[in-house]
């Protein structure tokens, strides 16, 4: 079993934040990501 803390299932599709960036991201962009991910995950269930 892979280590869930080192797994990035959306790698390459969404930015990986392994540290705090120097500049913040746009709120609309940030808030849209979990909505899109949830929609994709809902399709599998």
- Residue 45 belongs to a domain: yes
- Residue 42 belongs to a domain: yes
Domain housing 26: 8-15+22-45
- Residue 3 belongs to a domain: no
Q: What is the pLDDT of residue 42?
A: 83
- Residue 2 belongs to a domain: no
Ramachandran angles phi, psi of 11, nearest 5°: -55, 135
Contact 38, 45 (CB under 8 A): no
- Residue 1 belongs to a domain: no
pLDDT in tens, 8-23: 667 788 877 889 989 9
16 Cβ partners below 8 Å, 6+ apart?
Answer: 8
Please count the structural domains in the chain. Answer: 1
How far is the C-alpha of 32 from the C-alpha of 27, rounded, in Å? Answer: 8
- Residue of 1, 5, 2, 25 lying closest to 15 (CA atoms): 25
Q: What is the pLDDT of residue 2?
A: 61
pLDDT, averaged across the chain = 80
Per-residue pLDDT band at 26 (split at 50, 70, 90): very high
- Residue 33 belongs to a domain: yes
């Amino acid at each position: 079993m892979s280590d869930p803390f080192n797994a990035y299932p959306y790698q390459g599709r969404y930015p990986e934040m392994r540290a705090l960036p120097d500049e913040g991201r746009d709120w609309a962009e940030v808030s849209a990501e979990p909505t899109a991910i949830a929609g994709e995950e809902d399709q599998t269930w």
